[in-house]
Chain A
Amino acid sequence: MENILEIKNLSLSFYTPSGEIEALRNINLQLGKGEILGIVGESGCGKTVLSKTVLRLLPKNAKIKNGEILLNGKDIVPYSESKMRGLRGSVMSMVFQDPMTTLNPTIPIGKQITESILKHSNIKYNEAKKQAIEMLDMVGIDSPEKRFAMQPHFFSGGMRQRCVLAIALASKPEILFADEPTTALDVTVQAKILDILLKIRDETRISIVFITHDFGVVARIADRIAVMYAGKIVEVGKTEEIFYDPRHPYTWGLLSSLPYFAKKGEPLKCIPGMPPVMMNLPKGDVFATRNKYALDIDYEKEPPIFDITDTHKAATWLLDKRAPKIKPPKFFGGECHE
Chain B
Amino acid sequence: MKNRTLIKDIIIRLLGFVLAMFVLSVVVFYFARLAPGDPLQSFYGDATESMTSAELHAARVRLGLDAPIYIQYIKWFGNALGGDFGLSLKYKMPAMKVVSPLIGNTLILGSTAYVLVFALATGLAIACAANEDSLFDRAVCKIGTAAYYIPAFWLGVVLVLIFSINLKVLPSSGAYDIGKSGDVLNRIRHMILPLIVMILSHLWYYAYMIRNKLLDEIRKDYVLLAKSKGLNKREIIFHHCLRNVAPTIISIMAISIPHVLSGTYIAESVFNYPGLGSLSVESAKYHDYNLLMILVLITGFLVIFSSIIAKTINEIIDPRMKDSEVSAWQR
Contact surface of A with B, Cβ cutoff 8 Å: 55, 57, 82, 85-90, 93-94, 96, 98, 101-107, 115-116, 119-120, 151, 153, 164, 167-168, 170-171
* Segment 214-231 of B: residues with Cβ below 8 Å from A: 220-222, 224-231
Distance of A102 Cα from B229 Cα, bound (Å): 12
B residues 196-247 with Cβ under 8 Å of A? 220-222, 224-232, 235, 239-240, 243-244
B319: chain A residues at CB < 8 Å are: 151, 153
For A96, the chain B residues whose CB sits under 8 A away are: 221, 224-225
Interchain Cβ contacts within 8 Å, total number? 78
B225–A88 contact, CB under 8 A?
A: no
Q: Are B230 and A57 in contact (CB under 8 A)?
A: no
List the 3 closest pairs (A to B, CB-CB), nearest first: A89-B230, A101-B221, A88-B230
- CB <8 Å contact, B320 and A105: yes
B317 adjacent to chain A (CB < 8 Å): yes
| Nearest opposing residue in chain A for B225, CB measure | A102
Q: Give 1 or 0 for each of B309-329: 1 = CB within 8 Å of chain A CB.
A: 000000001111001000000
Q: Is B226's CB under 8 angstroms from A104's CB?
A: yes
Binding site secondary structure of chain B: helix
Q: Which of B221, B225, B319 lies at the interface centre, i.e. has the most chain A CB atoms within 10 A of its CB?
A: B225
Q: Is the CB of B229 within 8 A of A89?
A: yes
CB distance from A299 to the nearest CB of B (A): 39
Are B320 and A153 in contact, with the CB atoms below 8 A?
Answer: yes
Known: A106-B244, A153-B320. A167 touches B230 (CB 8 A): no
Question: By the criterion CB–CB under 8 Å, are A104 and B228 in contact?
Answer: no
Q: Are B230 and A98 in contact, CB atoms less than 8 angstroms apart?
A: no
Interface size on B, residues (CB 8 A): 22
**CB <8 Å contact, B220 and A57:** no
Report whether A88 and B224 are in contact in the complex, using a CB–CB cutoff of 8 Å. Answer: no
**Residue among A98, A107, A120 making CB contact with B240, cutoff 8 Å:** A107
CB-based contact A93/B243 at 8 Å: no
List, sorted by A's number, 12 A–B pairs whose CB atoms are closer than 8 Å.
A85-B231, A85-B232, A88-B230, A90-B230, A96-B224, A104-B222, A105-B222, A105-B318, A106-B318, A115-B231, A120-B230, A167-B229
| Given A96-B221, A101-B222, A106-B318, residue A168 in contact with residue B240 (CB < 8 A) | no
Q: Which residues of B contact A153 (CB under 8 A)?
A: 319-320, 323
Most buried by B among A101, A104, A120: A104
Contact between chains at A98 and B221 (CB < 8 Å): yes
In the complex, the answer to whether B221 meets A87 with C-beta atoms within 8 Å is: no
Contact B222 A103 (CB under 8 A): yes
Q: How many angstroms between the C-alpha atoms of A86 and B317 in the bound complex?
A: 31
Please give 5 more A-B residue pairs, beta carbons under 8 A apart, in addition to A94-B228, A106-B244, A115-B226.
A90-B230, A102-B225, A106-B317, A115-B229, A119-B231
- Chain B nearest CB from A99 CB (Å) reads 9
Give Cα A222–Cα B221 distance, bound, in whole angstroms.
26
The answer for the CA separation of A73 and B173 in the assembled complex, in Å, is 72
Could you tell me the distance between the alpha carbons of A87 and B231 in the complex, rounded to whole angstroms? Answer: 11
By a CB distance below 8 angstroms, the chain B residues around A171 are 229-230
Bound Cα distance A211, B226 (Å):
20
Chain A residue contacts of B226, Cβ below 8 A: 104, 115
Assess the A105–B244 pair: CB atoms within 8 A.
Answer: yes
The docked-state distance in angstroms from the alpha carbon of A240 to that of B224 is 34
Q: Is B243 a contact partner of A106 (Cβ separation < 8 A)?
A: yes
In whole angstroms, how far apart are the Cα atoms of A101 and B224 in the complex?
Answer: 10
Residue on A nearest B232 in the bound complex, by CB: A85
Inter-chain contacts of A167 with B (CB < 8 A): 225, 229
Of B222, B235, B239, B317, the residue contacting A102 (CB under 8 A) is B222
Complex Cα gap A183–B225 (Å): 17
Cβ-defined contact, B318 with A115, below 8 A: no
- Assembly CA distance A171 to B229 (angstroms): 9
